[in-house]
A and B are shown apart, each in its own frame.
Chain A
Amino acid sequence: MEIHLSHFNTIYFSAKMSLPLTLLSGLSYMGILIESLSILIISLLFFMLIFLYNKSINEKQHEKWRLIAGLLIRKAVFHDNEDNPDATVPLTARAESLMHNRHFRQLVTEELITTKKSLAGMASENLKHLYQQLQLDKYALTNLKSPQWYVKAKAIQELTLMELKDVLPKLYRYTNNKNELVRMEAQSATVQFYGFEGLRFLNVITYPISEWQQIKLLQQLSQAAPVDVSIDTWLRSKNSSVAVFALKLARSYHWFQWHDTILACLEHPEANVRLQAIDCLCEIYTDKTAAILKSRFWQEELEIQLAIVKALRSIGTEDDAPFLVSLLAYDNNEMKIYAARAVTHISKNGLELIGISASASGYPLNEILAQIKGELAV
């Protein structure tokens, strides 16, 4: 095949022509890209400006609304209705029209609740009346039916904070709601309104009461007048968290009348109930309690055994010393320490008894003895 110069020329001129064309087409693609990006950026900037403008308008409106709500609250707080308790707080036309706006209503509700938490006496009562006058309670009751749990929980909290005791029958059924936070709010509400008598939901609930909720309820009850309630059903409840809570109540309020039922809890299938029962018995015990605990010792797992030894330290007598000394030979160092501490606490010869065992067995009892001596010296 002959290669002619003309071929090279053709190739050369083709390349020379196609190169600018390629460059041109490349540049036009770049141009389109840059143009598209510019449009996108300008659009974004435009939307951002619109957004910021709307935000600024909303903030200004919010500030005005806050002022209106504040003035309304002030009128309510200082409203003198001694002569006519049914007298309502006068509303301006603007406030009245704004009450149809959901966002304004939300703002007013929040301000009312925040202020009510800080005020007491007639001022607080007036705020409650304002809440009802503005029919905010009706909106809250509607929210109770919401499918969203957080709306329900907020509604329950709101009605509780505004102290609307009349709505309690509607709140009661939420004490066993499948959502934990809804349950917590409803349970707190019943206790808030009725104190110990409000605990009757414990008769029926199937869901567990969390540790945190138990603490909250105990704290609420500490503000209420103590009343003797029957905890028998609760101690026997299939819901172990109810039994645990009832044991905590018995311990806190020293309900000695339930001692025998509490003893029965030592046979409960759940370990946490048995643990709580032992803890309770440290406060509610008779001269037979220590013997009963010792009789259960060898049937139990380590954690419960340790709890029993700890309890014996509080309620044991000199008669229990031999049992505790025998535990110094237990094949667990934690048990040895617990037993040693208990012995020194209940027996005036405690240290001697440990010393005898230590000299017979050596380590670790000799170390434990030194430790106990150090603790006693402090």
Chain B
Amino acid sequence: MKILIAEDDQVILMLLEFRLKKDGHEVIVTHDGREALEKIDEFQPDIVITDIMMPYVSGLEIIGAVKSKYPDKMRVIILSGMGQENVVLEAFQLGADDFITKPFSPNEVSVRVRRFDTGRK
């Protein structure tokens, strides 16, 4: 699958990219929301994994944009910090497909992404 990751923490981004590439996925990385929106239109990924708090464009705005332009084509998984429960609820209302709370295990991300892969099959 083609996966786009939007995360402003460089090391977390690298870890997710490494883990998902190891699982055999094609991974596109972006460092902020604005870049993420551009690359979503360019690469049309199957899954978007996005942090909530990001420069320029937030994760919530990304969900809104993805679900309005590509409602059935793309899945969105959000990464949220502890204590952001109300934000998680809002994300689901906007159409997010799954969420992962920080601190998270990279293996957890791998399993959650695989779920969508088997769903497609």
Contact = CB atoms under 8 A, between A and B. Distances in A.
A119 interface: yes
Interface in A35-89: 66, 69-70, 73-74, 77-78
Given A78-B19, A114-B9, A120 B14 contact: no
Interface stretch (B59-67, B88-96, B104-112): B104-112
Contacts of A123: 15, 105-107
B11 A78 contact: no
A124 interface: yes
A124 B103 contact: yes
Main secondary structure on A side of the interface with B: helix
A69 B107 CA distance: 21
B106 A115 contact: no
B87 interface: no
Contacts, number: 52
Contacts of B104: 118-120
B2 interface: no
Interface in A90-136: 111, 114-124
Contacts of B105: 119-124
B103 A119 contact: yes
Contacts of A66: 10
Nearest to B83: A219
A119 B18 CA distance: 15
A77 B9 contact: no
Contacts of A114: 9, 11
B10 A117 contact: no
Nearest to B81: A118
B37 to A, nearest CB: 23
A70 B19 contact: no
Given A118-B103, A119-B106, A120-B103, A70 B18 contact: no
Interface in B63-121: 102-108
A124 B104 CA distance: 9
Contact of A115 (B11, B22, B108): B11
A69 B10 CA distance: 11
Contacts of A115: 9, 11-12, 15
Given A66-B10, A70-B10, A117 B102 contact: yes
Contacts of B103: 116-120, 124
A66 B103 CA distance: 22
A121 B11 CA distance: 17
B6 to A, nearest CB: 15
A123 B106 CA distance: 7
A120 B108 CA distance: 10
B106 A77 contact: yes
A69 B106 CA distance: 18
A87 to B, nearest CB: 19
A122 B19 CA distance: 14
Nearest to B7: A118
A131 to B, nearest CB: 14
A78 B102 contact: no
Nearest to A69: B11
Contacts of B12: 115, 118
Contacts of B22: 78
A111 B11 contact: yes
B116 to A, nearest CB: 21
A70 B106 contact: no
Contacts of A121: 105, 107-108
7 contacts: A70-B14, A73-B15, A78-B18, A111-B11, A114-B11, A115-B15, A116-B103
